[in-house]
Amino acid sequence: MDKFQKVTGVAAPMPLINIDTDMIIPKLFLKTIKRSGLGVNLFDDMRYNLDRSEKPDFVLNKPAYRKSEIIVAGDNFGCGSSREHAPWALADFGIKCVISTSFADIFFGNCFKNGILPIVLDQAQVDVLMKDAEKGENARMSIDLEAQEITTSDGDVISFNVDAFKKHCLLEGLDDIGLTLVKKQSISAFEETSAQARPWV
């Protein structure tokens, strides 16, 4: 997993509430176990017509937002079924941060495991960021995980909270496998000692 760096760019405004995991990545695309290749199908039903042409009114199809790395979303983002393909699709598209007033618990945890920073703010703060995002390509927002600060295009600073352990994992690029590998030497030493003490095992 890549280390989370400071993100600066245009944020895509998605004020719709209850954006569920089936909207993020429809069940049709859950056959793969690969984390790559799902970005093209992110928000598939919202992005494409039946003939696979793009819907011009969808935010990520608009020129200003096609390369957005930040989403400012409505309440209860990531609700629905607990499919990890949802953060896989977001990450593969290039999304590094989602800001909302609330997230579904399993989706929230899966974001951290896949290098995405989910930020919870109160409604008034999200409203400020949503208006900033709606300015388009001339409004660049910055997310500083180390400082735990969001800076709007106007220079306003909003602080956010994040679990210290999850913050550490994002900054260091550690998913569950990475966390295990950090202890590789200790694990090897334990296995060697255990094998000598209990050769019959």
User: Taking CA 30 as the corner, what is the angle to CA 85 and CA 39, rounded to the nearest 5 degrees?
Assistant: 55
Q: What is the pLDDT of residues 60-116, one digit of tens each?
A: 999 999 999 999 999 999 999 888 999 999 999 999 999 999 999 999 999 999 999
Give the pLDDT confidence score for residue 190 in this predicted structure: 63
- pLDDT for residue 184 is more than 70: no
Phi–psi pair at 102, nearest 5 degrees? -165, 155
If you search the block for the tokens 């295009």, which residue do you land on? 153
For residue 148, give the 3-state DSSP assignment: coil
Cα–Cα distance for residue pair 164/182, rounded to 1 Å: 18
Greater confidence (193 vs 116) lies with 116
Annotated domain spans of the chain: 7-173
Nearest Cα to 156, choosing from 120, 119, 125? 125
Cα–Cα distance for residue pair 31/87, rounded to 1 Å: 15
Cα–Cα distance for residue pair 187/195, rounded to 1 Å: 12
Nearest Cα to 132, choosing from 11, 8, 9, 7? 11
Give the pLDDT confidence score for residue 58 in this predicted structure: 98
Across 143-162, average pLDDT: 97
- pLDDT for residue 183 is more than 60: no
The pTM assigned to this predicted structure is 0.88
Mean per-residue pLDDT over the chain, rounded: 91
Right CATH for 7-173 from 3.20.10.10, 3.30.365.10, 3.20.19.10, 3.40.718.10: 3.20.19.10
